[in-house]
Structure 1
Amino acid sequence: MKLVGVSGTLAGEKTAVAVSSVLAAVRHLDPGIQTELIDLRDFEIEFAAGLPLAAYNEDTWNVVQKILSADFLVFGTPIYQASLTGALKNLFDHLPEHAFRNKVTGMVATGLTDKHFLVLNYHLGSILSYFKGLIPTNNVFILNDSFDIETDELTDMQMKERVGKLAKEMIDLQRGIMKRE
């Protein structure tokens, strides 16, 4: 199995650290699962204009293909103005309608205030459902003060435990889906 994590921001480190924490927890639970981080800061994803995928640059094509070929996925976003990032939404605009059929699609978010924790369920979750993704129940919202101020390392033990629960649930759900097929 292959898990692809997407850090859906063009600024800062916390979201990539959060997504990487899920990938590390999955590898800890099952070293046989391949993982890959797609950090949108490392790619030039073109603005979606309704064209066929072949009309876009190589970065856009490669990232979309990595996402489509994954067995399951975890998406991370900081919460800005009670929403996910435009960069992540733009990436979603390049995907076909059934992109996540039979795939678990976990979510992690980072934010300055706990007032935005429901963005995962009501905004990002709705988008993943549209693409037919199976959404776990143990998704994680991580406050910015859960990270070390100098290194951006995730230091909050409760958040680390929650990340571990998400990782386990994602593995269990994806295995269940693959057994049915």
Structure 2
Amino acid sequence: MKLVGISGSLAGWKTNVAVHNALVAIEALDANIQTELIDLRDFEVEFVNGDPLAYYNEDTFNVVNKVLSADFLVIGSPIYQASISGALKNLLDHLPVDAFKRKVTGIVTTGEIEKHFLVSEYQLKPILTYLKGLVPTINVFIQNDSFSDENEIIDNDVLERYKLFAEEMVTLQKSLEQTK
């Protein structure tokens, strides 16, 4: 199985670290799962303008196809102004309506205040569901003060949530694989 993690931030490192930790937690459960981290800062994903995918630059074409070819995904975003990042929303806008059909789409977000966890439930989850993704009941929200100055996660509760998140992601995706 191929797991793709998306770090939907163009600034800072917290979202990248958060998604990376999710991938590591899932790999720890099943060494046969291949993982790839797509950090949107490394690509020039063009703004959606309604053209077919083939009309966009190579980065856009490649990132969208990596996302579409994944068996399951971890979607990561910082929370800015009570919303997901524009870079992540733009990437999601490139996808067809059934992009995540029969795929587990886990959510990992970072934010300044504890109420920002609501963005995962009330904004990102409906988008993933619209794209036909199966969203686990557990997601991982990490408040900025749960990171050290070196951008390492230092909150043991967050580390425990990663384990629960990984278990649910793998269990759900394996269940979907068995019914294909």
TM-score by length of 2: 0.99
SS at match of 1:38: strand
Report the AA paired with residue 68 of structure 2: L
- Name structure 1 gaps, 5 residues minimum: none
Shift of 1:116: 1.3
Instruction: Give the match's secondary structure for 2:12.
Output: coil
SS at match of 2:81: coil
| Cα distance in 2, alignment partners of residues 119 and 2 from structure 1 | 27
2 CA distance for matches of 1:17 and 1:164?
Answer: 15
Gaps of 5+ in 2: none
* Matched residue, 1:39: 39
Correspondence for 1:57: 57
1:170 aligns with 2:169: yes
Residues 1-181 of structure 1 aligned to structure 2 (within 5 Å): 1-149=1-149, 151-181=150-180
SS state at 1:109 partner: strand
C-alpha displacement at 1:64, in angstroms? Answer: 0.4
CA-CA distance at 1:163 after TM superposition:
1.0
TM-score computed with the length of structure 1 as normaliser = 0.98
| Percent pairwise identity | 62
AA paired with 1:2? K
Find runs of 4+ consecutive structure 1 residues off by over 6 angstroms. Answer: none
d(CA) in 2 for partners of 1:2 and 1:166? Answer: 17
Q: Secondary structure of 1:118's match?
A: helix
Partners of 1:60 and 1:124 in 2: how far apart?
21
C-alpha distance in 2 between matches for 1:31 and 1:157: 24
Whole-Å separation in 1 of the counterparts to 2:54 and 2:96: 13
Q: How many residues align?
A: 180
What CA deviation, in whole Å up to 9, does each residue of 1:2-46 have, x standing for no partner?
100000010000000000000000111111100000000100000
In structure 2, distance between residues paired with 1:163 and 1:40: 22
CA distance in 1, matches of 2:81, 2:166: 28
How far the C-alpha of 1:79 sits from its partner, in A, is 0.5
Q: 2: distance between equivalents of 1:131 and 1:177?
A: 16
